């Protein structure tokens, strides 16, 4: 089944130090296009769905190039606008061994932040859509972007379009403008049907700590609190990451439903990681694929985890795998070359 998903957010350029060097250790930077919501859109397009990106970019060659990169991956961009301001950037110092990766944001006064993501006819944009996907990164960029995000999710609720929200709490972005993270994120979550978040996101929004003994217990307690606070919320899902080193993680996933049911996946060991940026977005896209395809809850969650695991093997922000590759990950035990 082919779904129609609209994604709203800022399209970014990522500039990364090459070969795991420190930032500007050499005068070279590797550039790729990314952004949380764009990552989801690209992944959904590769999974066979109609994905549309909505937002605003700088009216220059950088904005044109980033938008063109989305089109190259099959994402619709007819609703992308240009606006005064610069292109949002982030700089990545890739980690190695026990040295973690580090991100430096350079997004202040971007075209998206200044315009609030543009002025859009949401009733027209959402006509025929199955889902609207947004993330907590957008409202963290400033009041205009927060207002734009709220307009989008409220329009979706009014139109009967389901809302998917990835918490993506970014304290550095909120601190830059002293934004009311808890208050604004609470308003966005109030419109969500599907929430990608851990108990830590719920702690930020509700101001309530969860101190249960295990991660799963804390997640389930956070989910119950979220269901109590947000009546539209139907499902909450998250990954659980154990970091053995920068290059070796263990990843699993779990979810909770309003009816009290829940699932926990097997854990996968991910050694020799190529790039972990965008893996949460790959998980969100995979879970959305499961929702659209009508998969059983456990199967859809496992599909999302498999998509996230595969993203660790792909450089750049985008997950470029299709349904067949995810299915192969879930079924194959051999690493022989496919011929």
Single out the catalytic residue among 166, 193, 247, 281.
281
In the residue annotation, 247 being an active-site residue is answered as no
State residue 113 phi and psi, 5-degree precision. Answer: -65, -40
Tell me if residue 323 falls in helix, strand or coil: helix
Strand 50-58 relative to strand 4-8, pairing = parallel
CA–CA separation, 57 vs 90, rounded Å? 15
Helices (H), the chain: 36-46, 61-72, 111-115, 122-125, 143-159, 171-176, 181-189, 199-206, 215-229, 279-293, 297-311, 323-331
Q: What is the DSSP letter of 116?
A: T
CA-based torsion, 287, 335, 32, 251: positive or negative: positive
State residue 237 phi and psi, 5-degree precision. Answer: -135, 150
Strand-pair partners of 236? 195, 256
156: left (phi over 0), alpha (psi -120 to 50) or beta: alpha
CA–CA separation, 260 vs 271, rounded Å? 34
CA atoms within 13 A of residue 130's CA, in its CB half-sphere: 17
- Residue 285's contacts (CB-CB under 8 Å, 6 or more residues apart) are 39, 40, 43, 44, 47, 304, 307, 319
> Do 125 and 97 meet the contact criterion of CB atoms below 8 Å apart?
no
- Just list the catalytic residues: 281
């Amino acid at each position: 089944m082919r779904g129609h998903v609209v994604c709203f957010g800022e399209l970014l350029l990522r500039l990364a130090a090459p070969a795991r060097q420190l930032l500007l250790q050499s005068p070279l930077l590797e550039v790729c296009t990314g952004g949380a919501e764009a990552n989801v859109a690209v992944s959904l397009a590769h999974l066979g769905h109609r994905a549309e990106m909505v937002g605003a970019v700088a009216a220059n060659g950088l904005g044109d190039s980033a938008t063109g990169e989305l089109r190259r991956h099959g994402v619709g961009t007819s609703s992308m606008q240009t606006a005064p301001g610069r292109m949002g950037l982030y700089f990545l110092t890739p980690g190695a061994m026990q040295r973690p990766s580090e991100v430096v944001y350079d997004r202040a006064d971007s075209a998206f932040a200044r315009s609030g993501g543009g002025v859009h006819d949401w009733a027209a944009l959402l006509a025929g859509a199955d889902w609207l996907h947004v993330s907590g990164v957008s409202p963290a960029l400033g009041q205009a972007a927060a207002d734009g995000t709220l307009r989008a999710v409220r329009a979706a609720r009014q139109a009967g379009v389901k809302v998917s929200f990835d918490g993506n709490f970014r304290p550095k972005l909120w601190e830059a403008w002293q934004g009311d993270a808890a208050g604004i994120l609470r308003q966005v979550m109030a419109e969500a049907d599907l929430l990608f978040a851990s108990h830590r996101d719920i702690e930020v929004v509700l101001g309530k700590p969860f101190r249960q003994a295990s991660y799963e217990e804390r997640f389930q307690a956070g989910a119950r609190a979220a269901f109590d606070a947000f009546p539209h919320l139907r499902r909450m899902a998250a990954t659980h990451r154990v970091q053995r080193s920068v290059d070796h993680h263990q990843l699993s996933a779990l979810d909770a439903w309003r009816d009290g049911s829940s699932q926990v996946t097997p854990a996968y060991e991910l050694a020799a990681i190529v790039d972990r940026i965008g893996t949460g977005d790959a998980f969100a896209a995979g879970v959305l694929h499961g929702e659209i395809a009508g998969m059983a809850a456990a199967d859809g969650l496992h599909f999302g985890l498999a998509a996230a695991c595969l993203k660790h093997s792909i450089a750049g922000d985008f997950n470029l795998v299709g349904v067949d590759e995810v299915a192969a990950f879930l079924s194959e035990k051999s690493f022989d070359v496919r011929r």
